Amino acid sequence: MNDHDQVLDFYAHAGPMTAPGMYAEVLEALPDDPASLVRIVQGLAIHEFVASEFYGVAISEERRAESHIRPVEQMLDRIMALDPAPLTVSRPPERRLVGVCRHFLVLLLAMLRAKRFPARGRCGFGTYFNPGFFEDHVVCEYWNESQKRWVLIDPQFDDVWIARLGIDHDVLDIPRDRFLIAADAWTECRMRAADPAKFGIVNGNLRGL
């Protein structure tokens, strides 16, 4: 096995946070394409900071604790406690797991890896939250075998997000100039090709999280 194949094999297997545990067979039975898995994730989670504004859902202080759940098995425990329907059934917004961008990412990573897709999380900055700024965010990157390339995919952006923020790119194949991974952002700032003051959580806006 060459180095490239070793990398792909490594990212095709679950790590401590994406190990499905008792839900292994459930995830293995899900659809085989990333687009379908993204839609499933979007029906399972709701972003804590836009729940009220985007979906009309008031999050209680008790339920805000869900955003601190880390392992995917515990996320799935909570999802099933809120609504025991199959994962392929989209929950009403008020019965979705309360989380942030990391929760969408971890759920999708676990599903992709259960289907043996090499997939990994990418920390970086999105340009599509506030024009002219780079908001702190995490997305998924998976290996597209037919195209022989890594593809950036954002499971957080359902039709509601897309309409609200006026997203005009494919969230299933994010252009590299719309999301800068952390290393590229650091390089651009060090080379003075970008302004460091425009990176982070800009003006207290937490939508990128």
Sign of CA dihedral 5, 108, 76, 69: positive
* Other Cβ atoms within 10 Å of 191 Cβ, number: 8
For 120, list phi and psi in degrees, rounded to 5. -150, 155
What is the C-alpha to C-alpha distance for residues 175 and 170, in angstroms, rounded to an integer?
8
**Contact (CB, 8 A) for 161 and 146:** no
pLDDT of residue 97: 98
pLDDT of residue 121: 98
Contacts 24+ apart (CB under 8 A), 73-79: 73/19, 73/20, 73/21, 73/22, 73/23, 75/99, 75/103, 75/106, 75/107, 76/20, 76/23, 76/26, 79/44, 79/45
pLDDT of residue 202: 60
Pairing state of beta strands 199-200 and 134-144?
parallel
Class of residue 109 by CB neighbours under 10 A (exposed 0-12, middle 13-18, buried 19+):
buried
- One pLDDT digit (tens) per residue for the chain, 209 residues: 799 999 999 999 999 999 999 999 999 999 999 999 999 999 999 999 999 999 999 999 999 999 999 999 999 999 999 999 999 999 999 999 999 999 999 999 999 999 999 999 999 999 999 888 999 999 999 999 999 999 999 999 999 999 999 999 999 999 999 999 999 999 999 999 899 999 998 655 544 44
What distances in angstroms separate CA 81 from CA 62, 76, 84, 200, one per listed residue?
15, 8, 6, 34
Whether the predicted model's global pTM rises above the 0.85 cut = yes
pLDDT of residue 1: 78
pLDDT of residue 130: 87
Task: Identify the residue whose tokens are 């970008």.
Answer: 194
What is the C-alpha to C-alpha distance for residues 127 and 134, in angstroms, rounded to an integer?
5
> Could you give all domains of the chain from N- to C-terminal order, each with its CATH number?
3-204 (3.10.620)
Tokens found for residue 24: 């292994």
Class of residue 100 by CB neighbours under 10 A (exposed 0-12, middle 13-18, buried 19+):
buried
Class of residue 206 by CB neighbours under 10 A (exposed 0-12, middle 13-18, buried 19+):
middle
What is the C-alpha to C-alpha distance for residues 35 and 40, in angstroms, rounded to an integer?
9
